[in-house]
Amino acid sequence: MEPTASDYPHINGWGIDADPNNEPTYPLKNYTGDDHQRLNWERPPQQVQTVEILHSNERPNLTAVFGTSSPPSGLSGAIRRFAFRFSESEYGHWLPLLLADRVNVVEGIVDDLAHGHIPNIFAEKGWKADWKHNRAGLVQNVVIGVAATALVYAFFTRNKQQTAFTRLKKTISN
Amino acid sequence: MLAMNYRGPFRVRAAQKPYPEILHPGDAIVRVTRSCICGSDLHLYHGLVPDTRVGMTFGHEFIGVVEEIGSSVQNLSVGDNVIVPFNVACGKCAFCKQGLFGNCHESNPEATAVGGIFGYSHTAGGYDGGQAEFVRVPYADVGPTIIPDWMDHDDAVLLTDVVPTGYQAAEMGGIKKGDTVVVFGAGPVGIMAAKSAWLFGAGRVIVIDHLEYRLDFVKKYAQCEAYNFRSMEDPVLFIKKTTDWFGADVCIDAVGGDAAGSALQTITGRKLMIQAGSATALHWAINSVKKGGIVSIVGVYGPTDNLVPIGNVVNKGITIRANQASVKRLLPKLIDHIQAGRLNPKEIITHRVPLEEVSDAYHIFSAKLDNCIKPILIPPSARQ
Ligand SMILES: NC(=O)c1ccc[n+]([C@@H]2O[C@H](COP(=O)([O-])OP(=O)(O)OC[C@H]3O[C@@H](n4cnc5c(N)ncnc54)[C@H](O)[C@@H]3O)[C@@H](O)[C@H]2O)c1
Ligand SMILES: [Zn+2]
Ligand SMILES: [Zn+2]
């Protein structure tokens, strides 16, 4: 038997939006047939383009409005331009964009320095919050970091006669 | 003005930026009074979304006061307090006209597979977002909605995304009275999905996560069952057993690409990024729903590919429904629910952080420190 609101007295509004027509095929859109007009709606006025905007090759034009944050620039910009030659269906589009994002991080640091700003990476990563709420975790991270650095240092300096490479080979074969 | 500024994965700071300008007759400039950090921002923060450019300001969940309007704006006046839906939507294209405000075709030149979203990388239109003192809001006549006088602004800011998304997750589940609904994820979105499932007549609501403090919260807040997947050998088997070996009627993925719980998914999806985020929760959802059941996905994944058991979708005859929430479509109904006390979103806010401390706020929310559920950022200009 179908439950009723009296079965759920503790839930304010139980079942109030239940809709027997909400079958899996029931679309969450109010079908109007507009789909068959394709792109022929009355377009909003076009925003004037003042900075470089890359646009998907799966559409014929820019959208009527768009964001103007951080236009492509430098090496990352060149990689992004290349990526936009490929459709959204291609790895050739997304993988270069991810690469560009990483290159952009280095450009960001260079840009900071060029403006006389030394980025406080620990502050940017919110380590102050760690000190307050996760001190053990922070200390553990620092200890692991220091230990790893010390190990690497020891590995490369222990025996000057042996090259680091032959030592690495030995370590692996052991 | 002060704004959040993305510097690279796990690195953000508050920095000065030029005041935004009206660039289109339909634009408004809004002075932000509150903005939130969302689970979606974490995908950007973790470097998972392609074309996330250094220098961008994030923030798609914000409310504020209209400061300036473009020449064609008619529905708003300077001084109005507005809820700004996270979707940038024109109201005129074939998709907007049919209520699909999350899929507008006139708001994102960079991609056709996703509509425009404030402060959400160039893959979602390249808009600077609302984790700032001021923000440019295009199509101001379409999305922004005046905050009713009686409404608490902490509730209002959650209507920009979290509440409609959780509600739509339940709506897309096509819940029938008496259905057992399993929600993966006890973040703000999963919490709202669990709460909303009852409104559609769910008979039983089960939430799965691995953060005890969130499970404790959702159990009370959404009056549902809540279980820790770390304490189960196999969450799918657990759900099969607890549904008399039948499977859940509806499963909701409210986790997305930052899911934990499977080493293979985590390494390939979040570390090596050879898939578009880890699809652990979606995998569990597909495998624990009944034959002919519905899987509703609101968790966000990147644009490439994910490892999911698609063969089981075919063999079990599962219906998958998914979307970015259509905030504007749902607002009238949700405002009603809040007024009637059926929904009380602001209770999920755990942290109130000055915008200047945005780096710490991101880290706290990302690392789930200090029992964080939902942090909101308050710009200096809103604190006087
Ligand atoms: N479709 C939309 O319109 C829309 C809108 C907003 C948010 N989202 C997406 O919804 C998702 C959740 O957002 P949120 O703000 O609640 O984020 P959140 O990061 O606060 O919550 C995610 C929760 O999932 C849990 N989790 C991780 N792995 C899990 C697993 N395998 N099974 C179950 N739970 C698991 C985490 O512990 C966390 O509590 C994100 O992917 C976000 O991008 C979508
Ligand atoms: Zn959000
Ligand atoms: Zn539109």
pLDDT of residue A172: 60
Sequence-distant (6+) residues with CB within 8 A of B226 are B186, B206, B207, B208, B209, B215, B216, B218, B219
pLDDT of residue A168: 58
Mutation test of the interface with chain A: which of B219, B359, B362, B377, choosing the one with the most A Cβ atoms within 10 A? B359
| Measured distance CA(A97)–CA(A91) in Å, rounded | 10
Cβ separation of A55 and B110 shorter than 8 Å?
Answer: yes
Cβ separation of B26 and A28 shorter than 8 Å?
Answer: no
As given in the structure block, the two tokens for residue B26 are 């339909």
Q: Which long-range contacts (CB under 8 A, 24 or more apart) does B350-353 make?
A: B350/B374, B350/B375, B351/B375, B351/B376, B352/B376, B352/B378, B353/B377, B353/B378
pLDDT of residue A25: 47
Nearest atom in ligand 1 to the alpha carbon of residue B235 is: 32
pLDDT of residue A160: 56
Pairing of strands B11-16, B2-8: antiparallel
Sequence-distant (6+) residues with CB within 8 A of A124 are B7, B11, B12, B13, B359
Pairing of strands B62-69, B28-36: antiparallel
The 10 Å Cβ neighbour count of residue A23 is 11
Interface of A with B in 66-105 (CB under 8 A): 66-70, 72, 76, 80, 83, 88, 91, 94, 97-98, 100-102, 104-105
Question: In which band, very low, low, confident or very high, does the pLDDT at A161 lie, cut at 50, 70 and 90?
Answer: low
**pLDDT averaged per 10 residues in sequence order, chain B, 384 residues:** 98 98 98 98 96 98 98 98 98 94 97 97 98 98 98 98 98 95 98 98 98 98 98 97 97 97 96 94 98 96 95 96 95 98 98 98 97 98 86
Sequence-distant (6+) residues with CB within 8 A of B237 are none
Question: In which band, very low, low, confident or very high, does the pLDDT at A156 lie, cut at 50, 70 and 90?
Answer: confident
CA distance B117 to chain A (A): 10
Query: Which of B38, B183, B217 for a ligand 1 pocket mutation test, highest count of atoms within 8 Å of Cβ?
Result: B38
Alpha-carbon separation of residue B216 from A64, A139, B7, B144, B329 (angstroms): 46, 28, 35, 34, 32
Query: Which of B255, B270, B284, B326 for a ligand 1 pocket mutation test, highest count of atoms within 8 Å of Cβ?
Result: B255
Residue with tokens 């929760």: B281
Whether A1 shows a pLDDT value over 60: the answer reads: yes
| Residue B54 near residue B6 (C-beta atoms within 8 A) | yes
ipTM: 0.93
pLDDT of residue B237: 98
pLDDT of residue A2: 86
Cβ separation of B98 and A126 shorter than 8 Å?
Answer: no
pLDDT of residue B139: 98
Q: What is the pTM of this model?
A: 0.92
CA distance B289 to chain A (A): 14
Residue A48 burial (C-beta neighbours within 10 Å; 0-12, 13-18, 19+): exposed
pLDDT of residue A166: 62
| Measured distance CA(B286)–CA(B334) in Å, rounded | 29
B204-209 β-sheet, strand order: B225-228, B204-209, B180-184, B248-253, B289-297, B319-322
pLDDT of residue A153: 85
| Residue B224 near residue B206 (C-beta atoms within 8 A) | yes
Whether A165 shows a pLDDT value over 70: the answer reads: no
| Measured distance CA(A90)–CA(B367) in Å, rounded | 33
* pLDDT top residue among A140 and B376: B376
Residue nearest atom 31 of ligand 1, based on CA coordinates: B281
Helix ranges, A84-115 (H): 91-114
* pLDDT top residue among A161 and B9: B9
Sequence-distant (6+) residues with CB within 8 A of B283 are B262, B265, B307, B308, B309
Give the model confidence (pLDDT) of A3-30 as tens digits: 999 999 999 999 999 988 776 645 567 7
| Measured distance CA(B287)–CA(B283) in Å, rounded | 6
Domains annotated on chain B, with CATH? 2-161+326-383 (3.90.180.10), 163-322 (3.40.50.720)
| Measured distance CA(A93)–CA(A89) in Å, rounded | 8
